[in-house]
Protein backbone atom coordinates (compact mmCIF):
# COMPACT_ATOMS: atom_id res chain seq x y z
CA UNK A 1 0.00 0.00 0.00
CA UNK A 2 1.27 3.47 -0.84
CA UNK A 3 1.89 5.82 2.04
CA UNK A 4 0.21 9.18 1.83
CA UNK A 5 2.27 12.23 2.72
CA UNK A 6 0.71 14.82 5.00
CA UNK A 7 0.67 18.49 3.99
CA UNK A 8 3.38 19.22 6.57
CA UNK A 9 5.55 16.36 5.28
CA UNK A 10 5.23 17.61 1.69
CA UNK A 11 6.23 21.12 2.80
CA UNK A 12 9.22 19.78 4.76
CA UNK A 13 10.35 17.71 1.76
CA UNK A 14 10.01 20.72 -0.54
CA UNK A 15 12.16 22.84 1.79
CA UNK A 16 14.81 20.10 2.03
CA UNK A 17 14.83 19.62 -1.76
CA UNK A 18 15.62 23.32 -2.15
CA UNK A 19 18.12 23.41 0.74
CA UNK A 20 19.19 20.09 2.20
CA UNK A 21 20.97 21.93 5.01
CA UNK A 22 17.91 23.83 6.27
CA UNK A 23 17.84 23.69 10.06
CA UNK A 24 14.92 22.37 12.07
CA UNK A 25 14.52 25.86 13.58
CA UNK A 26 14.38 27.58 10.19
CA UNK A 27 11.90 25.03 8.86
CA UNK A 28 9.84 25.39 12.04
CA UNK A 29 9.58 29.16 11.53
CA UNK A 30 8.61 28.69 7.88
CA UNK A 31 5.95 26.13 8.81
CA UNK A 32 4.83 27.88 12.02
CA UNK A 33 5.69 24.90 14.20
CA UNK A 34 8.41 23.99 16.70
CA UNK A 35 11.78 22.61 15.67
CA UNK A 36 10.93 19.51 17.73
CA UNK A 37 7.82 18.95 15.60
CA UNK A 38 9.85 19.33 12.40
CA UNK A 39 12.42 16.85 13.71
CA UNK A 40 9.70 14.30 14.53
CA UNK A 41 8.28 14.58 11.01
CA UNK A 42 11.72 14.16 9.44
CA UNK A 43 12.56 11.16 11.62
CA UNK A 44 9.20 9.62 10.69
CA UNK A 45 9.93 10.11 6.97
CA UNK A 46 13.34 8.49 7.43
CA UNK A 47 12.05 5.61 9.56
CA UNK A 48 9.28 4.89 7.04
CA UNK A 49 11.89 4.69 4.28
CA UNK A 50 10.41 7.63 2.38
CA UNK A 51 13.46 9.88 2.52
CA UNK A 52 17.15 9.71 3.18
CA UNK A 53 19.63 12.48 3.83
CA UNK A 54 22.64 12.17 1.53
CA UNK A 55 25.15 14.21 -0.45
CA UNK A 56 24.30 14.63 -4.12
CA UNK A 57 27.14 15.63 -6.44
CA UNK A 58 26.95 17.92 -9.46
CA UNK A 59 28.12 16.20 -12.67
CA UNK A 60 28.28 19.63 -14.30
CA UNK A 61 30.60 21.09 -11.65
CA UNK A 62 32.78 17.95 -11.84
CA UNK A 63 32.74 18.00 -15.65
CA UNK A 64 31.47 14.41 -15.82
CA UNK A 65 30.00 12.72 -18.90
CA UNK A 66 27.04 10.37 -18.77
CA UNK A 67 25.46 7.62 -20.81
CA UNK A 68 22.26 5.63 -20.75
CA UNK A 69 22.64 1.91 -21.37
CA UNK A 70 19.58 -0.08 -22.44
CA UNK A 71 19.95 -3.83 -22.12
CA UNK A 72 17.91 -6.77 -23.32
CA UNK A 73 18.89 -10.00 -21.59
CA UNK A 74 18.30 -13.53 -22.82
CA UNK A 75 16.11 -14.34 -19.82
CA UNK A 76 14.98 -13.09 -16.42
CA UNK A 77 17.68 -15.09 -14.61
CA UNK A 78 20.36 -13.25 -16.62
CA UNK A 79 18.74 -9.89 -15.81
CA UNK A 80 18.76 -10.72 -12.08
CA UNK A 81 22.40 -11.85 -12.25
CA UNK A 82 23.47 -8.65 -14.08
CA UNK A 83 21.59 -6.41 -11.64
CA UNK A 84 23.16 -8.19 -8.65
CA UNK A 85 26.65 -7.95 -10.17
CA UNK A 86 26.46 -4.22 -10.93
CA UNK A 87 24.16 -2.85 -8.22
CA UNK A 88 27.15 -1.50 -6.21
CA UNK A 89 29.06 -0.08 -9.20
CA UNK A 90 30.42 3.37 -8.27
CA UNK A 91 29.87 4.57 -11.85
CA UNK A 92 26.12 3.85 -11.84
CA UNK A 93 23.75 6.58 -10.71
CA UNK A 94 20.61 4.71 -11.80
CA UNK A 95 19.80 1.04 -12.35
CA UNK A 96 16.30 -0.28 -12.97
CA UNK A 97 14.34 -3.12 -14.51
CA UNK A 98 12.18 -2.21 -17.50
CA UNK A 99 9.00 -3.66 -18.95
CA UNK A 100 9.15 -4.40 -22.65
CA UNK A 101 11.90 -5.33 -25.12
CA UNK A 102 14.75 -3.92 -23.05
CA UNK A 103 14.61 -5.15 -19.49
CA UNK A 104 17.40 -3.14 -17.79
CA UNK A 105 18.29 0.54 -17.92
CA UNK A 106 21.46 1.95 -16.38
CA UNK A 107 22.74 5.50 -16.24
CA UNK A 108 26.47 5.78 -15.74
CA UNK A 109 28.95 8.64 -15.27
CA UNK A 110 32.57 8.98 -16.36
CA UNK A 111 35.35 11.54 -16.06
CA UNK A 112 35.82 11.96 -19.82
CA UNK A 113 34.86 10.50 -23.20
CA UNK A 114 37.70 7.93 -23.15
CA UNK A 115 36.47 6.51 -19.85
CA UNK A 116 32.88 6.63 -21.08
CA UNK A 117 33.93 4.69 -24.17
CA UNK A 118 35.71 2.12 -22.00
CA UNK A 119 32.77 1.52 -19.70
CA UNK A 120 30.24 1.37 -22.54
CA UNK A 121 32.22 -0.79 -24.95
CA UNK A 122 34.93 -2.93 -23.35
CA UNK A 123 33.92 -3.48 -19.75
CA UNK A 124 31.04 -3.49 -17.32
CA UNK A 125 27.42 -3.72 -18.35
CA UNK A 126 27.49 -4.23 -22.12
CA UNK A 127 29.88 -7.17 -22.00
CA UNK A 128 28.19 -9.11 -19.20
CA UNK A 129 27.12 -12.70 -19.85
CA UNK A 130 23.44 -13.10 -20.65
CA UNK A 131 22.98 -9.94 -22.71
CA UNK A 132 21.15 -10.42 -26.00
CA UNK A 133 21.64 -6.83 -27.16
CA UNK A 134 22.34 -3.40 -25.75
CA UNK A 135 22.19 0.20 -26.82
CA UNK A 136 24.23 3.14 -25.54
CA UNK A 137 22.96 6.70 -25.63
CA UNK A 138 25.60 9.30 -24.74
CA UNK A 139 24.21 12.41 -23.08
CA UNK A 140 25.49 15.91 -23.72
CA UNK A 141 24.51 17.72 -20.51
CA UNK A 142 22.25 16.87 -17.60
CA UNK A 143 19.54 19.47 -17.14
CA UNK A 144 17.68 17.97 -14.20
CA UNK A 145 18.39 16.92 -11.54
CA UNK A 146 21.37 19.15 -10.88
CA UNK A 147 22.77 16.75 -8.27
CA UNK A 148 23.09 12.98 -8.58
CA UNK A 149 23.85 10.12 -6.17
CA UNK A 150 27.40 9.65 -7.47
CA UNK A 151 29.15 7.19 -5.16
CA UNK A 152 32.49 8.13 -3.69
CA UNK A 153 34.71 5.21 -2.73
CA UNK A 154 36.71 6.01 0.40
CA UNK A 155 38.91 2.92 0.47
CA UNK A 156 39.99 1.48 -2.85
CA UNK A 157 40.55 -2.25 -3.32
CA UNK A 158 38.73 -3.98 -6.17
CA UNK A 159 35.66 -3.21 -8.29
CA UNK A 160 32.44 -4.70 -6.88
CA UNK A 161 31.64 -6.25 -10.31
CA UNK A 162 34.83 -8.33 -10.26
CA UNK A 163 36.55 -6.72 -13.27
CA UNK A 164 40.36 -6.54 -13.01
CA UNK A 165 41.14 -2.93 -13.97
CA UNK A 166 44.82 -3.20 -13.05
CA UNK A 167 45.53 -5.63 -15.90
CA UNK A 168 43.45 -3.74 -18.50
CA UNK A 169 45.38 -2.40 -21.51
CA UNK A 170 43.19 0.72 -21.68
CA UNK A 171 44.27 1.60 -18.12
CA UNK A 172 47.93 0.74 -18.81
CA UNK A 173 47.87 2.93 -21.94
CA UNK A 174 46.24 5.83 -20.04
CA UNK A 175 43.07 5.67 -22.13
CA UNK A 176 40.87 4.73 -19.17
CA UNK A 177 41.19 5.80 -15.54
CA UNK A 178 39.82 2.52 -14.18
CA UNK A 179 37.07 1.91 -11.67
CA UNK A 180 36.88 4.30 -8.69
CA UNK A 181 36.79 1.21 -6.42
CA UNK A 182 40.01 -0.22 -7.88
CA UNK A 183 43.38 0.17 -6.15
CA UNK A 184 44.87 1.25 -9.50
CA UNK A 185 42.27 3.97 -10.18
CA UNK A 186 43.84 7.13 -11.67
CA UNK A 187 40.88 9.52 -11.54
CA UNK A 188 39.49 12.11 -9.14
CA UNK A 189 36.25 10.49 -7.95
Q: Report pTM.
A: 0.89
Q: Which fold has domain 65-152?
A: Alpha-Beta Plaits (3.30.70)
Q: Are 3 and 49 in contact (CB under 8 A)?
A: no
Bridge partners, 69 (sequence order): 106, 136
How far is the CA of 91 from the CAs of 27, 124, 167, in angstroms?
A: 34, 10, 19
- Domain positions in the chain are 7-47, 65-152
Q: Is 160 a residue whose pLDDT tops 70?
A: yes
Say what percent of the chain tops pLDDT 70: 99
Is 7-47's fold the same as 65-152's? no
**5-15 pLDDT per residue, tens:** 999 999 999 99
H/E run at residue 44 = helix 35-47
**45-98 pLDDT per residue, tens:** 999 999 999 999 999 999 999 999 999 999 999 999 999 999 999 999 999 999
Which of the listed CATH numbers 1.10.10, 1.25.40, 2.60.40, 3.90.1520 matches domain 7-47?
1.10.10
Q: Is 1 a residue whose pLDDT tops 70?
A: no
Amino acid sequence: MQEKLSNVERKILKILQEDGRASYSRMGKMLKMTHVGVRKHILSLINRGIMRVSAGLSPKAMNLRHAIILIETIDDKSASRIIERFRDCPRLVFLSRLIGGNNIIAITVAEDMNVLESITSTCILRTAEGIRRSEVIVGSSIIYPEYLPIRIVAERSSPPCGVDCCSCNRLKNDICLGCPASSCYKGFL
